[in-house]
Amino acid sequence: MLQVRLTKRLERFTLKVEFEATGEFIMITGPNGAGKTTLLKMIAGLVRADQGVVVLNGRCLQDETTFLSPEDRNTGFVFQKPALFPWLTVEENILFPIKRRDRDRLSHHIEFLATELELTHLLSARTDKLSGGEAQRVALARALVKKPDILLLDEPLSAVDKLLRPKLRKFLKDIQKLWEIPAIMVSHDYAEIHYLGDRVFELDEGVLSERKKKDNIVFMPLVSY
């Protein structure tokens, strides 16, 4: 279970969020500049909250006296801009979070990710030669390679070819359910939100509100972000 209660003063408003999640896929939408990426970064330990608590599976990641580094939180984070290492190949980027002594043991898992994300033919390529969608798929594989305790996804499919997106949505949903981990994904794509979201939240001006479901239909804001 994930428990989040965080507050951070931003330039235009105070971001104040509180929610819990079990093995759910949570979707967050809202206007640009509303604090969505900042929220993901605070859960990952990349940005310090002014105050608050993050607890994952009974383990305190942050409170008044504790602040675990991102490396110690075992989170799988995919940024909207993939932030790959251009001097490494696709395979080396995917393997980067894995200690060398563990790579042979995880070889089947790595092969599975490369196949599902359609990266097998690109493993020896330099990442500075990739398209935006290919780079996002590499970043997704890198986030999944350590079998994280939580997935934090910031528009991870925004640059992926539209014909490939349905397959990757299903892959994300399937692997999140298989591993029974919470996933939090920022998206402006209503197809993604409806398909992936067990619960859907809107974040606007630092205020997080849950969109209610009726007959499996999410009532979204009238404004398209």
Reduce the secondary structure of 51-114 to three states and give it as a string.
Answer: EEEEEECCEEEECCCCECCHHHCCEEEECCCCCCCCCCEHHHHHHCCCCHHHHCCCHHHHHHHH
How far is 8 from 211, CA to CA, in rounded Å?
A: 23
- For the stretch 174-184, pLDDT in tens is 999 999 999 99
- For the stretch 77-132, pLDDT in tens is 999 899 899 999 999 999 998 887 777 777 788 899 999 999 999 999 999 989 99
Give me 43's structure tokens. Answer: 């859960």
Q: Is the pLDDT of residue 225 over 60?
A: no
Classified by CATH at the fold level, domain 2-81+149-218 comes out as Rossmann fold (3.40.50)
Global model pTM greater than 0.75:
yes
Domain ranges of the chain: 2-81+149-218
Tell me what pLDDT residue 103 has: 78
